[in-house]
A = this chain, B = another copy of it.
């Protein structure tokens, strides 16, 4: 990151920034795409679009997005659903210098909550 023109704006270490950037990506995904209409047949096009949009963002090393077809709620007279936080299973890896953070979003049944957490940071 020695040549990153944004570096001077950041307090903290590369590790701090890696964790921060992982959080940005997960927050962005949820709030950009939740509400999008979908069915089992269209879920994969949305998964691919979210992955592609995430990869262009700063410092992303890898991303995997999966929409849970089994939890998807197809309903109403027109038989479709919408993307909710609970359906998303996301893992994103961010690299800053030699630091790396892996952030995850997944629904945790014990918490009844779609939790975003750091799976690894070093």
Instruction: Mark A residues whose CB is within 8 Å of B.
Output: 4-6, 9-12, 15-17, 19-39, 41-42, 45-46, 48-49, 52-59, 75-78, 80, 82, 84-85, 101-103, 108, 111-113, 115-121
Contact = CB atoms under 8 A, between A and B. Distances in A.
Contacts of A19: 12, 16-17, 19-20, 23
Please classify the interface of chain A as helix (H, G, I), strand (E, B), loop, or mixed, using the class held by over half of its residues: mixed
A52 B15 CA distance: 30
A107 to B, nearest CB: 10
B52 A113 contact: no
A121 B31 contact: no
A33 to B, nearest CB: 8
Q: In the assembly, how many copies of this chain are there?
A: 4
10 contacts: A6-B117, A10-B118, A11-B102, A12-B121, A23-B24, A23-B25, A27-B31, A28-B28, A31-B35, A38-B52
A116 B119 CA distance: 22
